[in-house]
A and B are shown apart, each in its own frame.
Chain A
C-alpha cells in the first residue's frame, strides 16, 4: 500500500455547491436516460401511460440543464480550483485535472446539442434529431467518469453509493433496451451488449485503481499548488482532513543545520535538521564513537521525516552511511514505509543538498 493520500478541500460554500450540484445533475441525468429508454421500449401500464413517461423525460432533461448550469457556474466562480471560462465549452482546456474535467465538458456539450435539437425537433427533422439523440448514450458514461475523476471524495460512501446506484439503474435499463425487440438486429444488439459489458468492467477496474486510490489527486492532474496548499492548511474542517506528504517519489533540495556533541562516555552524536523546498522536514541523529578527524562511527541512529506540518510523521533509522550520503528507512504509525536518500554538503554548521524520498522500504 503506497504511502501518501491527499484530499483537496476547501471550506468555501461554492466548492460544496459545485460538488452537490454535480451529484444532483448526475442523478437527474441517470433518471432521464432511464426514462428515455422506457419510451423506446414502450413501457406502459394502466396507471402509467406512455405520455407520462414522455412528459417526465422532457421535464427532467430541462432540470438537468438547470443543475448543470449551476454546477458549471459555481465551479467557475469558485477561485479555489482553476477552472477557466474556456473549459465550459472547450474540452481539456482547464488547468485543474484537465482530462477528467474535460470529459465533463464533452458531456455538457453533448447535452446542449440534445436539448437544442429536441426543442427544435420539428425544424430539425426527425432524422437529424434521432442521430443526435443517440449520443445520449455517450453523454451519460462521460458524466459518470467525469464525476469519479474530478470528485475529491469518491471514497465517501454517499458519493460512491450514489454513483453505483446510478450505474446499476442504467445497466438494467440498457439490458432491457437490448432485449426488447429481440431477435431484430441481432448482430447489432450482441455487439452493443458486449461493448457495454466490456466498458463496464474497464470502468470498474479504472475506478478501483484510480479514483479510489489514495494518490488519485496528484495522479489526476491537480495543480501542485493546490496539493501543497492542502498540506499547508492541514485544516480541521469537517470531513477527512489529514496533513500528508506530497506525492512520492519526491526529490527536493534541502537546507539545514548540523550540530554535534560528545558525551562524557565518549559517544558522539551528530544531529542534522533540514527542510526542503518541497514542504518536508527531516531530522537525523547519528550516534556512535567519535572518529579521528571528525565524524562518527554509527552504532545507532534515529530519523524522523514528514511534511512540515507534521515532521515526525515518519520515524525510523539510518540504513547506510557513506560520508555525507545518508540512507534511511522510516515508517509511519500505519506501517507505511518511505525510504530516504540524503546527499549532503556540509559547510560548517549548515548543510545543503538533495533529499530523495520514495515509497517502500528502500533498496
Chain B
C-alpha cells in the first residue's frame, strides 16, 4: 500500500448497472465511460484524497451498482 491510497477499490456490479452514468460524472478521475455509457473502473486502490468523492458516487448510484470494497491487505516483508 503506497502512502496516500486507501485500502478500498471500486467495483461495478454489471448486472445491476443500467448506465445512468452518475458515477462517471461524479468521479471522472477514477471512472471512465465505455462506448455505450457503462462505467469502466480500473480496480486500483482509491487514493485517500478521493475517498469522499468515491463514497458520494457509491451513494448516488440509482441502482446500487457501484461498490466500494475493502481489499484484504497481503502482508509485505520489510517496510511498506
A and B bind: yes
What is A's interface to B at a CB cutoff of 8 Å?
Answer: 39, 42, 44, 49-51, 54-55, 121-122, 126
Which residue of chain A is the closest to B67 with respect to CB atoms?
A122
Structural contact, A50 and B22, CB atoms closer than 8 A: yes
Which of B's residues lie within 8 Å of A, judged by CB?
16, 20-22, 25-26, 60, 62-64
What A residues does B26 contact at CB under 8 A? 51
Check A54–B64 contact: CB distance below 8 A.
no
Query: What is the chain B residue whose CB lies nearest that of A50?
Result: B22
In the complex, what distance in Å separates the CA atom of A51 from the CA atom of B16? 18
Given contacts A42-B20, A51-B22, A126-B64, 13 further A-B contacts (CB under 8 A): A39-B20, A39-B62, A50-B21, A50-B22, A50-B25, A51-B26, A51-B60, A54-B22, A54-B60, A54-B62, A121-B64, A126-B16, A126-B63
User: Which B residues lie within 8 Å of A50 (CB)?
Assistant: 20-22, 25
A44, A51, A55, A126: residue with the most chain B Cβ atoms closer than 10 Å: A51
Q: How many A-B residue pairs have CB under 8 A?
A: 23
Known contacts: A42-B20, A126-B16. The answer to whether A51 contacts B25 by CB under 8 A is yes
Bound-state Cα–Cα, A42 to B22, Å: 10
Interface of B: prevailing SS: loop
A122–B64 CB distance below 8 A: yes
Q: List 23 A-B contacts (CB under 8 A).
A: A39-B20, A39-B62, A42-B20, A42-B21, A44-B21, A49-B25, A50-B20, A50-B21, A50-B22, A50-B25, A51-B22, A51-B25, A51-B26, A51-B60, A54-B22, A54-B60, A54-B62, A55-B60, A121-B64, A122-B64, A126-B16, A126-B63, A126-B64
CA distance A49 to B21 in the complex (A): 9
Query: Which of B21, B25, B62 has the largest count of A CB atoms less than 10 A from its CB?
Result: B62
Closest Cβ of chain B to A121, distance in Å, is 6
Q: How far is A49 from B64 in the complex, measured between Cα atoms in Å?
A: 19
Within the assembled complex, what's the spacing in Å between the Cα atoms of A126 and B26? 21
**Cα A138 to Cα B2 with chains together (Å):** 52
Give bound CA distance, A95 to B20, whole Å. 47
In whole angstroms, what is the CA distance A39 to B63 when docked? 11
Q: How far is the CA of A44 from the CA of B33 in the complex (A)?
A: 16
Residues in A neighbouring B20, C-beta threshold 8 A:
39, 42, 50
**CA A92 to CA B30, docked complex, whole Å:** 53
**Closest beta carbon of chain A to B41's beta carbon, Å:** 17
B57 and chain A: residue at smallest CB distance? A51
CB distance from B15 to the nearest CB of A (A): 10
CA distance A172 to B60 in the complex (A): 26
Cα–Cα distance between A121 and B22 once the two chains are bound (Å): 17
Bound-state Cα–Cα, A290 to B63, Å: 91
Which of chain B's residues have a CB closer than 8 A to the CB of A126?
16, 63-64
Residues on A with C-beta less than 8 A from B62 are 39, 54
Measured CB to CB, the closest approach of chain A to B32, in angstroms, equals 16
Q: How many angstroms from the CA of A54 to the CA of B16 in the assembled complex?
A: 18
3 A-B pairs closest in CB distance: A49-B25, A50-B22, A51-B22
Residues of B within 8 A of A44 (CB): 21
Closest-CB distance, B4 to chain A (whole angstroms): 25
Q: Which residue of chain A has its CB nearest to the CB of B13?
A: A126
Residue of A nearest to B18 (CB): A42
Nearest B residue to A125 via CB reads B64
A8 to B16, CA, bound (A): 53
CA distance A55 to B57 in the complex (A): 11
* Chain B residue nearest in CB terms to A124: B64
Instruction: Report B-chain residues with C-beta under 8 Å of the C-beta of A51.
Output: 22, 25-26, 60
The docked-state distance in angstroms from the alpha carbon of A55 to that of B61 is 11
